[in-house]
Amino acid sequence: MTKELSFATASDHQTSPAGTMTLMTAAGYSRADIHMHTNLGDGWASPAQVIKEARRRGLRLIAITDHDHLEGAWRVAELLAREQALGPDGDGQEAATPLELVIGVEVTTRDGHLLGLFVDKPPRAQRPAEEAIDEIKAQGGLVVVPHPFGRLVPSLSRARIEELLSKGYCIDALEMYNPSPANASQRHMVRLANQEWQLAEVGGSDAHFWQHIGVAYTLFPGQSAEELRQAILLRRATPGGQEVPTPRLPLGVYVAQCAWSWLVDPPRRAWRARRNHQNHRGVVVR
């Protein structure tokens, strides 16, 4: 079964007087960007920038999926909760565009990255994919394979996905559309493989910069996080975003983010893992 984009085209783009970019979607459908990073991980967008840009893009739902921790996701959750209490300008007015958050994580497994959505605890990193799947499922989360077969970043191979499926491990969806270079070259192969696997297909921007938030998305019937979950489980979600080219940023920006990703983020992740381990043993760390 091949899923085609059927709800949004380039001509559907509109810009409101307030500068809010929207994509018209079929009545009753919403767009979710379920893969993005903040500057509490290896992204460059602050939690506040993420919220602002998600709204500007007309997204109804976002998942923050930093690598191996939930701090960026919790920070976005705090900001949204404060906004709901005070209004976006602190004036008690309700936010103009409702935006819902799914707490997510991109787990670094020994076999490649795995997205866990609807989680409240990050699975342990650098373990086999089976363990990450078990930990996500134990929390009632959804397992999504990001940038499948990707060669530029650690990604699950076709053979590894086949092995997991044959062992009965639940994979809820494949990220069929991810505009990063990690994914584009393999998309055709993934589509072919999924004709056999018949897994749900979703899209996510994998944005590390605010300019890329929403350039890929998952279209689903409904509006709420729970409706997104059901749409993925029932394979009624579709990947979207191909209709608009991804904004190109100056090369230096990518180089700097790459350096950040290699030099700054790993020590922070190691420190968090140590802190969580100590907390787990009852040691209070401030």
**Least distance from C-beta 206 to Zn ion, angstroms?**
4
DSSP state of 95: P
**Least distance from C-beta 113 to Zn ion, angstroms?**
4
**Span near Zn ion by CB under 5 A; candidates 13-21, 93-101, 203-211, 223-231:** 203-211
**Least distance from C-beta 153 to Zn ion, angstroms?**
5
**Least distance from C-beta 61 to Zn ion, angstroms?**
17
**Least distance from C-beta 178 to Zn ion, angstroms?**
8
Residue environment code for 85-124, b if the CB has 16+ CB neighbours within 10 A, otherwise e: eeebeeeeeeeeeebbbbbbbbbbbebbbbbbbbbeebbb
Residue 206 in contact with Zn ion, rule: CB under 5 A: yes
**Span near Zn ion by CB under 5 A; candidates 7-15, 43-51, 105-113, 248-256:** 105-113
Please, which residue, 106 or 135, has the CB nearer to Zn ion? 106
Please, which residue, 112 or 222, has the CB nearer to Zn ion? 112
Closest CA to 45 of 244, 260, 240, 268: 260
Residue 68 in contact with Zn ion, rule: CB under 5 A: no
3-state SS assignment for residue 23: strand
> 100: phi > 0 → left, psi -120 to 50 → alpha, else beta; which?
beta
Q: Which of residues 142-171 bind Zn ion (CB under 5 A)?
A: 146, 153
**Span near Zn ion by CB under 5 A; candidates 98-106, 116-124, 132-140, 259-267:** 98-106
Provide the pairing of β-strand 173-177 with 200-203: parallel
Please, which residue, 221 or 232, has the CB nearer to Zn ion? 232
Q: Is-contact 70 103, C-beta < 8 A?
A: yes
**Measured between alpha carbons, how far is 140 from 254 in angstroms, rounded to an integer?**
35
**Least distance from C-beta 106 to Zn ion, angstroms?**
5
Q: Please give the torsion angle defined by the CA atoms of residues 82, 85, 86 and 87, in that order, rounded to the nearest 10 degrees.
A: 90
Find the binder of Zn ion among 55, 75, 113, 212 (CB under 5 A): 113
Residue 212 in contact with Zn ion, rule: CB under 5 A: no
Structure tokens that stand for 277 in this block = 């381990």
**Measured between alpha carbons, how far is 188 from 2 in angstroms, rounded to an integer?**
11
**Least distance from C-beta 215 to Zn ion, angstroms?**
13
Closest CA to 228 of 34, 25, 3: 34
Q: Which residue is nearest to Zn ion (CB)?
A: 113
Q: Is-contact 244 10, C-beta < 8 A?
A: yes
Q: How many residues bind Zn ion (CB under 5 A)?
A: 5
**Span near Zn ion by CB under 5 A; candidates 70-78, 91-99, 113-121, 186-194:** 113-121
* Cα maximum dimension of the chain: 57
Please, which residue, 111 or 206, has the CB nearer to Zn ion? 206
Please, which residue, 53 or 206, has the CB nearer to Zn ion? 206
Please, which residue, 173 or 227, has the CB nearer to Zn ion? 173
Q: Where does this chain bind Zn ion (CB under 5 A)?
A: 106, 113, 146, 153, 206
